[in-house]
Amino acid sequence: MFFWLLLLFFTVPLVEIYVLLEVGGVIGVLPTIALVVLTAVIGAGLIRAQGLATLARVRGELDRGELPAVGIIEAALLLVAGALLLTPGFVTDTLGFLILVPPLRRRVVEAFIARHVVIRGGTPERGGRHDPRIIEGEFRRDDEAP
C-alpha cells in the first residue's frame, strides 16, 4: 500500500504539470490560471451544497434511530472530492467533479458496501454465525421510564 501511495504522490503532480503546460500552450497562461481558479470556486460551491444535503440526511437518519452508514461514506467521498477540487490542476478537478455526480457517487458507495460491509443476521442459536468480535448483551436506556 505504501508503494502505491508513494507512486501516486509523485505521479499526480507530474501529470498535473504536464496537462497545465499543454493547456497553457493552447489557450494561454492567464486563461489557464482563470480556469483553474474557476473550477476551484465552482467545486467549493458544489461541495458545500452537497455536503449540507448529506449532513441533513445523516441527521434525519440519526433522529429516526437509523445507522447513517451510507451518509457517512458519502460524506467521506465528498471530503475526497473537495480535496481534489481544491488541488490546482485539471486531472484532479475532473476526478473531483465525477465524485460530485450523485449517480456515480452512489455506485461507488454501493461497491464499497458490497466489498467491505458484511451483514449477518441472527445469533448462533438462531442459525447465525458466531463472530468472536461480537459481544452479546442487553441494554436499557436510562432516560426512558421503566
Average pLDDT over residues 2-28: 94
- Taking only Cα atoms into account, the Rg of the chain, rounded to an integer number of angstroms, comes to 22
- The tens digit of pLDDT for each residue in 120-130 reads 554 444 444 55
Helices (H), the chain: 2-27, 29-63, 69-86, 90-100, 102-116
79 is a domain residue: yes
104 is a domain residue: yes
- pLDDT of 51 reads 93
Average pLDDT over residues 8-33: 95
Q: Which three cell numbers stand for residue 16?
A: 498535473
48 is a domain residue: yes
- pLDDT of 10 reads 93
Q: Identify whether the C-beta of residue 131 lies closer than 8 Å to the C-beta of residue 120.
A: yes
Q: Identify whether the C-beta of residue 26 lies closer than 8 Å to the C-beta of residue 90.
A: no
- The tens digit of pLDDT for each residue in 73-118 reads 999 999 999 999 999 999 999 999 999 999 999 898 888 888 876 6
Q: What is the DSSP letter of 145?
A: -
47 is a domain residue: yes
At 22 the three-state DSSP class reads helix
Calculate the average pLDDT of the chain: 86
136 is a domain residue: no
137 is a domain residue: no
Domain coverage including residue 21: 11-120
**In total, how many domains does the chain have?**
1
